[in-house]
Amino acid sequence: MEEPLAETPLRPAVLALEDGRVFNGRAAGACTRRGGEVVFNTSLTGYQEVFSDPSYSGQIVCLTYPHIGNVGTNPDDQESQRPYIEALIVREFSPLASNWRSTETAQHYLEGHRIPVIWDLDTRALVRHIRRVGALRGLVSTDGMPAKQLIEEARAIPSMSGLELASRVSCAKPYRWEKGSILTSLPWNETAAEKGARRFRVVAYDFGIKQNILRLLVDSHCDVQIVPARTPAEDVLAMKPNGVFLSNGPGDPEPVAYGVESIRKLLGRVPIFGICLGHQLCGLALGGRTYKLKFGHHGSNHPVKNMRTGRVEITAQNHGFAVDPDSLSASEVEITHVNLNDYTNEGMQHRSLPLFSVQYHPEASPGPHDSHYLFRRFTEMMNEHGSTKRVSSAR
């Protein structure tokens, strides 16, 4: 017989927002206080992947799915070496884990990384408030700090606009990645043709890269070398890559001037594929502008229309900024994808140079998998570019 669920001891917690709104709840995780921009995520599964996505650096995440923690955590679902959220807000937080893959409870996992949790509050009211007024700076306290002081501290937190966070979460030195996804790594799932497929040398810029991106690049027959965000383009070209990947990452894209400069130097020299922050940096490198969204796109159920095929993809997203399509030259850049919720730019391609990018996460860990084809498109572009270079050299 299963033991009854253990009752979590009552500890008070407070969420204080910069506009003076206060939410009271119960505490879990670490006994501390952490601040950041408060955003909400509408995913139904994959809370550990959300915790460990470096794009959430500087943000407090409210999960709209009401019951969190029930499947625990495990090493295979990590998207980076540690969780990056500043704090967690949920309706119900399970003290126990019940899943055959679980190696640690969510409580122990977050407590060990000094991340506070506030739960047993009205997350629907919080989300409605954010949707109405926009993303707000806030502070979660599980250490007994009075609400009035928390509001003042929340107002002192730096705004996400103008904040350069990519270099803070990037790797310190280059490294290789060789691990594919679990299913495709099994020997009986690889055909003889796949075993003999051409290998593409890909250099991936780490602006806050998720590990499932690297797994899917390996699945797509890429030898992947990851480099820090500030790596000069000259150093990347010296590695003689078949393609360059620009990763996701946190913060405002405009202060990442070093990334924009590198992309401009790489344009036309090598195929480029960017996602999320990488997409925004491509927009800036092509002469466009970015702007902050009211409350951003965070979740795994966002409809995006592929303007070339007319098909609608359900996508995973996590960003607070977008590229202004009107700021791009229509003669040079084609808009390939559009968000059907607010019609923001979700993808683009250069009309003559080998570069394309999307705002959403095609690796989508966990799902949906509608956009996995983009990794194949990247390898096809590298193949075509290599053929073009060989023909040009023969002439």
Nearest C-alpha neighbor of 294 from the set 312, 331, 321, 273: 321
Looking at this protein, which amino acid is placed at residue 161?
S
The one catalytic residue in 49, 86, 254, 276 is: 276
User: How far apart are alpha carbons 248 and 349 in whole angstroms?
Assistant: 17
Q: Is-catalytic flag, 7? A: no
Which ranges constitute the DSSP H helices of the chain? 47-51, 106-112, 123-133, 147-155, 166-169, 192-195, 211-219, 233-238, 257-266, 277-285, 373-394
Q: Is-catalytic flag, 363? A: yes
User: How far apart are alpha carbons 238 and 242 in whole angstroms?
Assistant: 12
CA dihedral 216, 220, 222, 227 (to 10 degrees): -30
The one catalytic residue in 86, 346, 363, 385 is: 363
Cα 314 to Cα 61, 76, 120, 173, 307: the distances in Å are: 21, 24, 30, 35, 14
Q: Alpha-carbon torsion 380, 383, 389, 391, what sign?
A: negative
User: How far apart are alpha carbons 43 and 182 in whole angstroms?
Assistant: 22
The one catalytic residue in 297, 302, 361, 385 is: 361
Nearest C-alpha neighbor of 89 from the set 142, 148, 157, 144: 142
Question: What residues pair up with 33 in beta bridges, in sequence order?
Answer: 141
User: How far apart are alpha carbons 114 and 367 in whole angstroms?
Assistant: 28
- The residues assigned a catalytic role are 276, 361, 363
